[in-house]
């Protein structure tokens, strides 16, 4: 999952980015409102965390412009403004949630995960299932049947992305955009390498193959019975 963080305070931005990265998210940062608007207009993000008091363009105006363009990326407003009127205004402008600074990162992470679940409207929002493959987003555990599969953090994020797109071909570029950061070298074979390692763990010989390569297009996670 890919997050856009629009925050002008460098220390706060670094703290939040580190936390989300450790939780398996890819994070892009913008230091002012105009840069954040430009990046958000690409519509590549699964969720955005936006401060209100930003240079060049304040956060509320940024959100308002995105909503006018019908960009419906879930947005969490993060602000030191803590009155009821501030929170109401943040939500009325187009924010989907509002968290007051200072905050605990665990609460921020939980709220972002809740926004993602709501945006994807899943009946079992904390669990993804394809055939006998189960991924628990909250406990960060993966099972194939009764067997638990140990995955590294990036492998977990890659599998989560493939499972969220079950039955749809995802390109290498799409995977890089949602699982890796933009500073990732697009010429490297890191995606192919991670897919290979993921297959070795998920598609053991005794199980039906779920991760498929679509030549010239990308990858597909599907139970082809």
- Candidate from 48-52, 126-130, 176-180, 197-201 with smallest mean pLDDT: 176-180
Neighbours of 178 (CB within 10 A): 21
Provide the pLDDT for residue 184.
52
Mean pLDDT value of segment 140-155: 92
Provide the pLDDT for residue 119.
79
Provide the pLDDT for residue 47.
93
Mean pLDDT value of segment 162-182: 81
Mean pLDDT value of segment 171-186: 70
Instruction: Write down the mean pLDDT value for the chain.
Output: 88
Query: Positive or negative CA dihedral for 73, 76, 80, 84?
Result: positive
Provide the pLDDT for residue 121.
63
Domain ranges of the chain: 2-120, 127-221
Does pLDDT of 26 surpass 60?
yes
Does pLDDT of 186 surpass 70?
no
Selected residue with higher pLDDT from 100 and 121: 100
Quickly state the pLDDT bin for 189 (edges 50, 70, 90): confident
Tokens 């980015």 label which residue? Answer: 17
Provide the pLDDT for residue 3.
93
Quickly state the pLDDT bin for 220 (edges 50, 70, 90): very high
The pairing of beta strand 97-100 with beta strand 75-79: parallel
Q: Which fold has domain 2-120?
A: Rossmann fold (3.40.50)
Selected residue with higher pLDDT from 159 and 122: 159
Mean pLDDT value of segment 17-40: 90
Provide the pLDDT for residue 191.
85
Does pLDDT of 215 surpass 60?
yes
* Alpha helices (runs of H) in the chain, residue ranges in sequence order: 10-22, 33-40, 59-68, 84-93, 105-120, 153-164, 172-179, 190-202
Find the length of the chain: 225
> Could you give the 3-state DSSP secondary structure of residue 160?
helix
Mean pLDDT value of segment 136-164: 90
How much is the pTM? 0.63
pLDDT tens-digit map of 52-82: 999 999 999 999 999 999 888 999 999 999 8
Task: Determine the CATH number of domain 127-221.
Answer: 1.10.10.10
């Amino acid at each position: 999952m890919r997050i856009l963080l629009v925050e002008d305070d460098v220390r706060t931005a670094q703290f939040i980015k580190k936390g989300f990265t450790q939780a398996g998210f890819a994070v892009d940062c913008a230091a002012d409102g105009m840069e954040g608007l430009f990046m958000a207009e690409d519509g590549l993000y699964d969720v955005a965390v936006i401060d209100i008091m930003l240079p060049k363009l304040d956060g509320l105006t940024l959100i308002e412009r995105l909503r006018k363009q019908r960009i419906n990326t879930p947005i969490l407003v993060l602000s030191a403004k803590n009155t009821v009127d501030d929170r109401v205004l943040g939500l009325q402008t187009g924010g989907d949630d509002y968290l007051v600074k200072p905050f605990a990162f665990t609460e921020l992470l939980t709220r972002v995960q809740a926004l993602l679940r709501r945006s994807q409207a899943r009946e079992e929002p904390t669990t993804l299932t394809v055939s006998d493959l189960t991924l628990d987003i909250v406990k960060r555990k993966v099972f194939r049947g009764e067997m638990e599969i140990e995955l590294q953090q990036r492998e977990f994020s890659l599998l989560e992305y493939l499972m969220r797109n079950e039955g749809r071909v995802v390109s290498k570029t799409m995977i890089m955009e949602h699982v890796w950061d933009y500073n990732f070298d697009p010429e490297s074979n890191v995606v192919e390498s991670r897919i290979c390692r993921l297959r070795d763990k998920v598609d053991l010989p005794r199980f039906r193959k779920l991760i498929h390569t679509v030549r010239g297009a990308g990858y597909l996670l599907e139970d082809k019975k």
